[in-house]
Structure 1
């Protein structure tokens, strides 16, 4: 059995153990059915009874979903166990030539349970599969990294952002309200859950406005390098940011119209 990507040492050891246990389970079991040869099959169980197991004798089969290969099986692997018990399972695909030996599921299970030693191997086989998949999943799933956010409590009148300063943080108001000033002229307000201070990070220019706490505020400050992580971890923050920018652009357009009319 092969899994894509870089495997941990634990996964490698579990794969080796699964191969050993497969051989032990098949010991003394008569493979009495004729070899089946296939090539270019999109779904194995569209051709065969779902309760049928197979031993790969030559070539490879692949578990696939949405066109992506999840795992591959080669010589000595037993495939079809999940499908035979009508569990949800990816498709078993054969891209090239493969030789399979059919195995009757019920006869195989009677062979397993007829001997206490094989029963032990079977339990170990199932546990190794479970442990291997969990360990592999742990290596494949992207680690969820929380942004290095700092929380600040502010009093009315405290300056959060000063016009002209270098931009290095993005802010979100957790509780309270703030006011926005450009050249000492109030141009807007910021409420709870609004994200602000991101524009200067995008433009690489100094802060274009001053933001002052209107009420007692609790804010979250996220360093520039962690802002992308914040957006990924909290998609709502990206939506809030877009909505805030849209409102501010609308307000600025209205101010421009008002000045033209004066």
Structure 2
């Protein structure tokens, strides 16, 4: 894949869409490409995660013994797996297994943080966007709480 096509794939993700072109270019340039064959395990539920994966092509099956609603879901091209792990240490909530030949961009947390450090405007944009998402989430929780209490 070319640098420009990697940038295009990344910019389709909301978290990367908040970044300035220079920060996005750094991530696209420094990310790693990983190729999987059918049956290859990308990661297992409970494993530590140190970054995210953008599916460039192929399909990744997700399975979780803890979240039955996730079991059987398949993530395809353009999906970001592990968004939270780009920002904070976390563990994988699911097991991810390639269903077909797949290509992924692997973005480490340290790379993502470096891009934000080198682009304070991008960091500020991302902070505002995440703040709005958190506010929306809290508002939805409050709506649900009121619905259960009524």
- With the length of structure 1 as denominator, give the TM-score of the two structures: 0.36
Aligned to 1:69: 70
* Per-residue deviation, 1:22: 1.9
Mapped to 2, the partners of 1:131 and 1:42 lie a distance apart of: 35
Flag the structure with higher helix content: 2
Match among 17, 23, 27 for residue 17 of structure 2: 23
Mapped to 2, the partners of 1:91 and 1:113 lie a distance apart of: 30
Q: 1:60 touches 1:72 (CA, 8 Å); kept in 2?
A: yes
RMSD: 4.2
Q: 2:49 touches 2:92 (CA, 8 Å); kept in 1?
A: no
Aligned to 1:111: 115
- Residue range with higher mean Cα deviation, 97-106 or 70-79: 70-79
Mapped to 1, the partners of 2:104 and 2:14 lie a distance apart of: 19
Match among 83, 90, 97 for residue 87 of structure 1: 90
What are the ranges of 5 or more consecutive residues in structure 2 without an aligned counterpart?
A: 1-11
What are the ranges of 5 or more consecutive residues in structure 1 without an aligned counterpart?
A: 1-17, 147-262
How many aligned positions are there?
129
Aligned to 2:6: none
Name the larger-Rg structure: 1
State whether structure 2 residue 148 is matched by structure 1 residue 144: yes
